Amino acid sequence: MTNNDMSQSDAKKSDVTNSDDVKVGVNSVDLKSPAQASVKAKAKTKVIVDPEKCVQRLILKLQDYWARQGCVILQPYDLEVGAGTFHPATTLRSLGPDTWRAAYVQPCRRPADGRYGDNPNRLQHYYQFQVIMKPSPANSQELYLGSLDAIGIDSTKHDLRFVEDDWESPTLGAWGLGWEVWCDGMEVSQFTYFQQVGGIECNPVPLELTYGLERLFMYVQGVENVYDLDWDGVPAEEGGKTYGDVFHQNEVEFSTFNFEIASTDELFRHFEDAEAECARILKFGEANAEKNGKAKGNLLPLPAYDQCMKASHLFNLLDARGVISVTERQAYIGRVRELAKACCEAWNKTQQEEA
């Protein structure tokens, strides 16, 4: 990966499509055309392959499987993020000596990937399923393969492969080694042994698993268009919903907002506000920690990190609006990374301290 901007690298593992990174280059002009959206209105179809394989049932199966492996099942974080990794349950919890096992669905937003609901593979809002296990279990690969089995991917019929793919997030100052997991040539998950987060060495080392749910489920259900995914296993005539029923309007509206409406002046201002707020929270915490001679309970990495996530998303929106030049982009990524690092450092202090 040569592109290391925020949306691409973070979303590398999150792509709904088969393309490892999505770029809105010269073609974005065409994609922004709202006329295109109205022309290609979707014909409604709903095919139920197997109610056991509907979106919500598969999510429940993943949650159930990982709960049985001793994971805390969390709900999504209530802020916009570009990838499940941004959830504090991964970013922050990767640091510190304590055992931590969690699994959760995380809605992710990648404003630049909006296609006004026209592209069968690309969405500006999609789901990731995220597993984090610290320390990484000795049987990490077996545990992962067990989860595929749980959602009906049978290793006696499919070709499952671990293909080198090292992961890096310049925004989070994080990197790890691992693979993308291939099922019959399709990337179904990212499998990473984190080595560093927020510029801090991970010890113990966590295992991070990320499943791009739409893509995986399309494969399991055998559908070619994300909007055709059977959401609930209920027939259409009984009010059953497809992915399109649930999200198509959302994609059209947000594509318009992301590419055309979002006020760049306000976004720039919000970015600076979030950045300043993050720094202010951390500074306040530091002063208290110094005064009270204790990190935990005084430092405020969690609220500060909220501001970091906000800044990251605001950057992604600005990027989608096409108002950040190539040279500026690196600088913005660097600014978010500084926030992430500072939050991680504060968090790490609260974890390393003797109780």
Partner 1 sequence: MSEFLLELHSEEIPARMQAKAAADLKKIVSDQLKAAGLVYVDARSFVTPRRLALVIDGLPEKQPDVSEEKKGPKVGANEKALEGFMKANSLVSIDQAEVRNTPKGDFYFVVNEIKGRNTTEVLAEIVVETIKSFPWPKSMKWSKNSFRWVRPLHSILAIFKGETLKGSFDFGNQTLNFGNKTRGHRFLAPDWFEVKNLDDYLHKLRLAKVLVDESERRDLIETQAKELCVAEGLTLKDDQGLLNEVTGLVEWPVLLMGQIADRFMSVPHEVLSTSMKEHQKYFSVLDGDGKLANHFVFAANTETVDGGQTIISGNERVLASRLSDAEFFWDQDKKDKLESRVDALETIVFQAKLGTVANKMGRVSVLASDLAEQTGCNPVYARRAAELAKADLTTGMVYEFPELQGIMGRYYALHDGESPLVAEAIADHYSPLGPSDRCPSAPISVAVALADKIDTLVGFFGIDELPTGSKDPFALRRAALSIIRLITENSLQISLRQAFAASFSAYTGQLTESEDKTIDGLMTFIADRLKVALKDKGVRHDLITAVFALGDEDDLVRLLARVDALAGLLKTDDGANLLAAYRRAANIVRIEEKKDKTVFDATVDTVLLQQPEEQALQEALQGASQEATKALEREDFTEAMAALAGLRPPMDAFFDKVTVNDDDPALRKNRLCLLSRIGVILGQVADFSRIEG
Footprint of partner 1 (CB under 8 A) = 17-20, 23, 25-27, 30, 121, 135-138, 140-141, 155-164, 166, 176-179, 183-186, 193, 195, 202-205, 219, 224, 326
CB of 36 to partner 1, least distance (A): 12
CB of 177 to partner 1, least distance (A): 4
Distance in angstroms between the alpha carbons of the first and the last residue of the chain: 42
Residue 158 or 270 having the CB closest to partner 1: 158
Residue 122 or 313 having the CB closest to partner 1: 122
Residue 131 or 289 having the CB closest to partner 1: 131
Residues 6 or more apart whose Cβ sits within 8 Å of residue 47: 223, 228, 230
Residue 178 or 285 having the CB closest to partner 1: 178
Q: Is 47 helix (H, G, I), strand (E, B) or coil?
A: coil
Residue 160 or 200 having the CB closest to partner 1: 160
Residues 6 or more apart whose Cβ sits within 8 Å of residue 302: 88, 92, 347
CB of 25 to partner 1, least distance (A): 4
CB of 283 to partner 1, least distance (A): 33
Query: In this structure, what are the phi and psi dihedrals at residue 200, rounded to the nearest 5 degrees?
Result: -105, 135
Q: Is-contact 245 231, C-beta < 8 A?
A: yes
CB of 305 to partner 1, least distance (A): 25
Residue 147 or 195 having the CB closest to partner 1: 195
In degrees to the nearest 10, what's the CA dihedral of 31, 33, 37, 40?
A: -80
**CA-wise closest residue to 332 among 261, 274, 282:** 274
Residue 76 or 322 having the CB closest to partner 1: 322
CB of 260 to partner 1, least distance (A): 19
Cα separations in angstroms, 147 against 141, 189, 219: 10, 11, 15
Q: Before 51, cis peptide (omega within 30)?
A: no
Q: Is 248 helix (H, G, I), strand (E, B) or coil?
A: helix
CB of 355 to partner 1, least distance (A): 19
